[in-house]
Amino acid sequence: MRKKRLTKSEKATLDKISGLQLTALMMLKERVEVLIKAAEATLATINDKGMNNHYSKHSDILRYAQEVWSASHRLGELKALVDDMEYAYGEKK
């Protein structure tokens, strides 16, 4: 089967998606680093003070974890979109 050549519009679409992937990847990395830092701070407090500490009922750790999941989910969706487009364009088998 002969490969279809990408049009300028199709190439531009793939380039735009690539940019979105890069942005999502940078967001994922930054949020993972923040989550790790917050988790390590909590772990240090547990090790140092145990039950003799006033732990927050409103910790940001859940929000950070949700942001990590959201960025990861977005990357997965974008990758699936690229794979679908490449398959449709005959770029991938």
Please report the DSSP string for 41-86 in residue order: HHHHHHHHHTTSS---TT-SHHHHHHHHHHHHHHHHHHHHHHHHHH
**10 pLDDT exceeds 70?**
yes
Number of neighbours of residue 79 by Cβ within 10 angstroms: 13
Return d(Cα 84, Cα 93) in angstroms, integer.
Answer: 10
- The ranges assigned to domains in the chain are 8-89
Band (29; pLDDT cuts 50, 70, 90)? very high
30-89: pLDDT as tens digits: 999 999 999 999 999 999 999 988 888 888 999 999 999 999 999 999 999 999 888 887
